[in-house]
Structure formats: structure tokens, C-alpha cells
A and B are shown apart, each in its own frame.
Chain A
Amino acid sequence: MSRTTTAAAAPPVSGTAPDPGGRRLPRTLHPVAWWIWALALATAVSRTNNPLLLFLVLAVLGYVITMRRTEAPWARGFKYYLYLALTVVAIRVAFRAVFATGITPRDHFLFSLPHIPTPDWYAGIQLGGPVSLEALLSAATDGLRLACMLCCIGAANTLANPKRALRVLPGALYELGVAVTVSISVAPQLVASVQRVHRARRLRAGRPKGPRALRGIIVPVLEDALERSLRLAAAMDSRGYGRAGTATRRSRRLTGALMLLGMCGLCAGAYGLLDATAPKLLGLPAMGAGAVLCFAGLRLGGRRITRTTYRPDPWRAAEWAVAGCGVVSAVLLFSNAGFNAAELNPSIYPLSWPTLPLVPAAAILLAGAAGFLAPPPTAPVPAPAPVPVPVQRNEEAK
């Protein structure tokens, strides 16, 4: 059966494919492949502070997105991630300037902010004072690293259809996925509803501003949304959503307990790994036990759900290639093979132009290969043209 599924999975395409070579059939890549690629790249980014490498990562992201994104609404969001990234850098720099840490004789003095004296019990933090070039630079590179990681996540969201990505969730988390999907669809309707009611306010010449106007908009919109969601719930219920399957009360409770324990284990494990003073037992063993418990919970929870997927995304060579090149670049950056680890985090004392280490740069460029390893996206659906609608058997019915 799986054979049939895979063979049938490539969506039929109308119109010209954007692939100039024309050898590969356009299709959408498995969303998980894009997520692995993006997360691996983000991991690689976390390793370096080198602005040259970071800019290279941004360039690679830009290239892959231009090559392989679709025309869908979610695929137009990358610029917002860029704005967010810029904001992160700006905030980081501004904070560093305001909460100055003083200046040493070796630093290059840039400017001075008025010093605000803090009370004694607050002595740890200074407000204002002299700001050095080094401090700002290190804040900027730190911010840039964070911004790059943000952009990696943004790229994954741009390249992979979020709704399809949610379908990959294990069966036990299916309800969560549906809740997210529904809220994604309801949000635009809510916006439309607000606009409609706002426009209608003028018909009654209600006050355009102030709390009363707000009420005049919120009450009809919320009532509308509530009725709409009730109707949606009824529709989903009558279409078989949440069919019980074979779950007993006991197995449901067991699933819950397993998940809860597993999550506790994961938290404790993460704490143990990150805090050097924690006992060794709390690190990897707790993490491992937590993961096993969670996995068991998900499996058990998934077993009671009987559901199939229409047109599951196939996992083929292209998926391996895209996920692989991401992972390889992360591994290369962590391996320290063939380059000096210090080059990843160039010192700002003395202030000098950072060098571009060859191997990490090559590793990041390798991740950019996803831009042509992934199959071209499906051609956009033809614009809504007035479609003549066949009225079937109308004459006969009369």
C-alpha cells in the first residue's frame, strides 16, 4: 500500500515548471527536511561569532529562499523575520550602550551617556557612562548571531508549509495540530470581521474612538467569532473528527502519566547538562529517561488514534540531500577539523578585521546547496479566472 501512496504522491502539475533544466518534476519538499536543514544551520550559527561567517549564512538563506519558496501566503513572510532580526541587533546594541560596563584603558572611547547614579543596593548595574567601540561591536556580533538563528527558523517557516509540517506530528499530538491549523485559518476571518464591523460603525455614526467605540466593535466581532467556532466544531464533529478508536480510560491515563513524567525528565536533564554544578546523574541519564518516557507516551497515545493521511509527503533522495547538507555543515563547524576554533570567535582585543576561515565558510556554502538540491516548487495555481461552471443535468432534473 505504501508503494501506491508514494507513487501517487507527486501532485499533478499544470502550467510550466520553473525548473529551467526541466529534468526534475516540480514538487514540494517534505517539510521535515526543510526543518532539519534550517535547525542544523541554526546550530552551526550558534557556534560562531564571526561576522563574516554570519553574513555568509544570511546570504545562503536568502539564496535558498529565492530559489525554492512557493507563492503561498506563508512563503511571503521572510522579510518580517529580517525586520525582527534587525530589531534584535538594535536592542542588543542599545542595551549595551545604556547599561554600560565601564571602560578600560585599552578600549577605544566612542561617546559618553549621562551617568545616572543608582542606589547602593542596586550597585551591580550602572546606567549611562562612557561607551567603548569594543563593547558595541561585541554586542552587535552577539545580536547578529541571534538574528541569524531567528532567520534560520524564519527560512524553515517560509520554505515548508506550516500546515503540512504539523501533519507530521505524532498521532497523540494530532489534536494540538488541528487546534493550531484551525486558529491559523480563523485569524484572517477575524481580521475581516473586525474590518466589516468597523465599517458598519459609521452607518450608526457611533463615536469612532474611545472605549465605547471599542465595545461597539468587539461585541459583534466576538459574538460572530463564537458562533462561527461553534458551527465549525459542529461541522468537524459530524465529519468524524475525534472518533474514539479503541482507547480505554486506563490507556488514556497511562499516556498522560508517561508524558508528564517524560517531560519532567527532559527538564531535569536539560538543567543538569547546562548547570556545571549539578550532580552528574541529573544530566544525560535523566535526559535519556525523559526522552524514552515521552516516546513511549506518544506511541501509546498514537496507537488509539485511527487515522490516515491523504497524499503523505514522500521522503526521497532530495529530502536526504537537503537535510544532509544542513547536518554536514553543522557537524563540520563543531568538528574543529582543518581550522583553528579561535577563528570562529575572533577576539576584539586587539581590534582587527576578522579573518574568514576556509573550512567553516565552505561548510556554510555547502548548506546553500539545498537551493538546487531541492526539487523546484510546484508552479503557482493559475490565477482565479472566471471559470464557466458546468450545471449538470439541469435540464433532466427539471
Chain B
Amino acid sequence: MIHFDQVTVQYDDAAEPVLREVDLTVEEGELCLVVGHTGVGKSTLLGAVNGLVPHFTGGTLYGRVTVDGRDTAAHPPRELADVVGVVGQDPLDGFVTDTVEEELAYAMEQLAVPPATMRKRVEETLDLLGLADLRHRALHELSGGQQQRVAIGSVLTAHPRVLVLDEPTSALDPTAAEEVLAAVTRLVHDLGVTVLLAEHRLERVVQYADRVIHLPGDGRVVSGPPAEVFRTSSIAPPIVELGRTAGWSPLQLSIRDARRAAAPLRARLADTTPVPVRPAPAADPVTLLKARGVTVTYQGVPAVRQVGLDLRGGEITALMGRNGSGKSSLLWALQGSGPRKAGSVAVPTADGGKDADPQKLSAAEARRLVGLVPQTPTDLLYLESVKQELDQADSESGVSGPGRVRARALLDRLTPGIPDGTHPRDLSEGQKLALVLAIQLSAAPRVLLLDEPTRGLDYQAKNELIRIVDDLAAEGRAVVISTHDVEFVARAADRVVVMAEGDIVADGPTTEVIVASPVFAPQTAKILSPLPYLTVAQVASALPDDGTDPAP
């Protein structure tokens, strides 16, 4: 269905080609997973399939890409619209019309499909993706999962043979992601659509994949069955890491298969006690933030309902809950910059004076007590170079005070080696996050709130983030991270707070909260349940050094 023949892609401003002499064949009806770190050319590979690379992005493509017999050199993306459907990361960016039905019909209108056929296909697609109840709704008032399903539907109506999905679930909570991936697998199984899917959070999709295309980062492409490719690939979901640790052959990719294979492993680990993921909290932690009855409403609709929360020094708290459950509103209200209808927030000041309410202080004083990194960190960046941003941060925070560290030193500690002259927009997602974090830390707040920092980060960047927040907690700060990523929470957090409809519905140590619900449980816990293991690292430390499973 898709053939890459000696394909090399070279962008004009890059020294090295992104893809180098790639030979690749994807057969009809395959669900193909594209994996690799940020910036290794996943998007380039996907874009090349429908001709966006190089027709839209620029650069030069050597070699030949054919899709369903059509050469992309001769066919620009619009001429391939009836063969390839493309769905991006943020569905809202691609919407042209404003209601569900019109959006589904848009591609067909461009392809001059007769009206009667259009009606029929719209109805079929509404049913196929479970959107029939939403047909007249405005696109912007749908939930993230619904929007992404509409985006998939809007390319499906053109009856493409190939579906290209570039990180379709990165903005979604686990349930919405399941919903979208279930729709995608249904398309593969029922309609035989060929799917090319790029995804950072492999644990969500790995069990569905028929083939994995791994981009190691040097421009080459390794393609093969998942169990083979993951044996050596530099990135892998926890289930694969567990398999590698336990020495399974072949590697298991779905929870069901892994549980069967893990029976001997569970027997071996039955008598052991897992080493704690995080060091035990201090016996007498200081309370750094005390919130009581915090309520946030938007035009009368409550987003946060009378939430009480204590944050203690040295503790990393994960804030979870589905999209729209009030996580962001709570974080903004705690920082004092967001609206707060009722309730109180008390933060002890550094000099040991009376507790202060950050909302009643000036912005400069509030950020010395509580720092917040917003969901889109780039909202805070507006200067031309990293150095200018850092200098600006120093002057905003008044680093002359005792015990203050310059922002540059902070950044070097978080992520060493970001050159001064780089434009902030050219940094990778992880580097941007580190830069904004350094800017916020330059004010030396003892409470730090991170709003969905894991969005768009690959495994490497997440490991980096875990190290950073570990260090921050070790310095005695209280850190709150709102996230959907349960694997990240299992490895990073001491405590998990789950919100729903503006209420806190669960609050407790990570081990207890996270294992209690099947949706929230990390893969290792699902496989080794009822044993209280959460991460692969715990398992590895319980096994002997050679790591092999003694069972045959």
C-alpha cells in the first residue's frame, strides 16, 4: 500500500538529512506504529506519505514514495486526499467548519462526491465512530476525545485507503485515548484501512500494532514485527521493559499475554517486598501550602468545589482526573493568579512571618511563594534568545537577595547545555519546559505547580523531568504535577490526588490510589497484581543481577 524507495529527506536549514535512504513497505490493512524520540523525523516520515513533505513543508525529497500506486512527487497532498487521510495532534487546529456534520462532509465536498452519496457516507461515519448523538453540536463544545473522533471521521468520509495519525491521543486523558484508539482499531479490523500511527505513550497502543517502524535517530528506519523491534529499540513501553528484565522470549505486548507469561515471575516475587519507588517522606514534614474550601466558578458553573488541600515540603503530588475535572482551575487558584470564588489559601512566607494568601499579594510577591508552569509553557516566552529570557527572569525575580540563584545556573542544573543564543521557539518540548521552569524557579518559590508538563514529552524527556522534580523535592519544596500519564505518576509521585467534577475523589499514597482503579493502574501493576509492584525498576532490583527468570 505504501512504498518508500531509497527515500532521503533533506531540509534546507539542516546539516544532516532527516531520513536517509529509507526503504519501507507497509502492506494493506496493517496497523503500523512509528516510534522514536522527539525530533528524529517521525513527523517527516508521516508527512511524506501524503506529500505534505516536501510539497507543503519545503525541503528536498530524493527517492520515490508511492501510495496505492500514486507517486507523491507528481501528486500534491490535495490530489491524494481520496487515498490518504491525515489526523493531527490537536483536532481543533484542523477543523474548517463549525458543526460535526458539516465537518464530516467537508472533504467529500472538495472531492465532488455527489450529494446523495455524501448523505449516506455521513450517516455511516456517524454510526461507525459513535457520533450520531453529536451530529448538530458545535465542534468547540465537544470533549477532546469526541473532537478527535470527529477529526478521524472527517477524513474517513473520503474513503481513504490509508490513515495517518500523528500523536492522536497526546492531549487526551486515558479514557478518551482508549475511545479514540478503539475507534482506530475498529477501522483496521472492519474496513481493512492501513493505519500509520505515531505515539509517544507506547503503553497505550503497543498491543494493537502489527508492525513497528523504529527511527533510531540517525536517519535510518528499522521496521519489523513489534516483538522483534522492541527487543533492541532505544525506547520501549513498561511492558516491554518488564519483558526484557524478566528475559521473556518472545516479548509479550498485551497485558493478557504478559500476565500469562508472568506467572513464574509472580511466584518468585511473591515473598519479596518491593523497594519503595520514592524515598520515605520526612517524619515531620513542613506544611508549605494550606488550602481550605477553594471554589472556582466560571459564569456560575462550578469548576472546583470547596477543595481542601495541604502540600508538604519534600513531597511530590500528582493531580489526576479527566479533562475538564478542574485540575487547571485548582492550580491557578492555588497560585493566586486564577479566579477564586471562595475559600482560603495560606502559604508560610520564607522569613517565617505570618502565612500569606498569594491572591492578596502582588504578582511578584505571589510568585516568590508559589510558582506555576502553565499548560502551554511558551505563553511565558516572548524574547529572542534563551539568554534574554533568563536575564529578564533575573530582573523580574530580583536575584540580588540572599540565597538566590541566577536563572542561568538553575537552567544548567535542570538541563545542561542549552546555548545562550538559541531562540526559545527552536528548543524541544522538554527544553522549553526546563527553560520556563528555570524562569519560575529563579523567584525561589517553595511550592511549585506544574500543569500537564508531560504532554508531548518522550520517554527520555520524562525521565529527565522525573530527575528534576526529584531534586526539587529533595531541596524541601512541595511539587504538584497535574498529568494524565499514569506510568509517569507511578515513577515520580509520593501522593496522588484524583479530581472529578471539581471535587477531590481520592487522595492518598501513590501505591494505594493508583492500583485501586484498573484505568489508573500502570502496566507493571496490572501484570504483577496482586503484588504491590508499580515500576519495572522495582522488579529489576528484586531480581538477581543477571536479571533472568529462573523459570523455563
Contacts and interface: CB of A to CB of B under 8 A. Distances in A.
Contacts of A220: 378-382
Secondary structure dominating the interface of A = helix
B106 interface: yes
Interface in B182-239: 182-183, 185-186, 189, 207-208
Contacts of A352: none
Interface string B364-403: 1011000110101011111000000000010011000000
B181 to A, nearest CB: 8
Interface of A: 1, 4-5, 8, 11, 163, 178, 181-182, 185, 188-189, 196-197, 199-206, 208, 215-217, 219-220, 223-224, 228, 231-244, 306-312, 381, 384, 387, 389-394, 397-398
Interface of B: 50, 52, 55-56, 76-82, 84-86, 88, 90, 92-98, 101-102, 105-116, 118-119, 122, 130, 133-134, 136-138, 140-141, 143, 145-146, 154-155, 158, 175, 178-179, 181-183, 185-186, 189, 207-208, 254-256, 332, 335, 337-338, 362-364, 366-367, 371-372, 374, 376, 378-382, 393, 396-397, 425, 439-440, 443
B179 to A, nearest CB: 5
Output the residue of A185, A202, A231, A398 with the most chain B CB within 10 A: A202
A238 B52 contact: yes
B110 A307 contact: yes
Contact of B93 (A197, A235, A384, A392): A235
A239 B158 contact: yes
Secondary structure dominating the interface of B = helix
A243 B364 CA distance: 54
A392 B187 CA distance: 11
A223 B425 contact: yes
A240 B80 CA distance: 7
Given A196-B379, A310-B118, A390-B130, A381 B137 contact: yes
B94 A397 contact: no
Given A199-B338, A309-B109, A389-B179, 10 more contacts: A8-B119, A200-B379, A203-B374, A220-B381, A234-B86, A237-B76, A238-B85, A244-B78, A310-B109, A390-B130
B115 A310 contact: yes
A237 B52 contact: yes
18 contacts: A202-B363, A205-B362, A220-B378, A234-B56, A234-B77, A234-B86, A235-B88, A238-B78, A238-B155, A239-B158, A240-B82, A240-B107, A244-B78, A307-B112, A309-B109, A310-B108, A389-B179, A392-B130
Contacts of A215: 382
A272 B81 CA distance: 49
A188 B138 CA distance: 14
A1 B130 CA distance: 29
Contact of B115 (A4, A381, A391): A4
B396 A204 contact: yes
Nearest to B89: A231
Contacts of A199: 332, 337-338
A1 B116 CA distance: 7
Contacts of A228: 93
Contacts of A240: 78, 81-82, 107, 110-111, 158
Given A232-B94, A384-B141, A398-B255, A243 B81 contact: yes
Contacts of A389: 130, 143, 145-146, 179
B122 A310 contact: yes
A11 to B, nearest CB: 8
A243 B78 CA distance: 6
B439 A204 contact: yes
Contacts of B52: 234, 237-238
A37 to B, nearest CB: 25
B116 A4 contact: yes
A184 B143 CA distance: 22
Given A238-B84, A239-B81, A393-B185, A312 B115 contact: yes
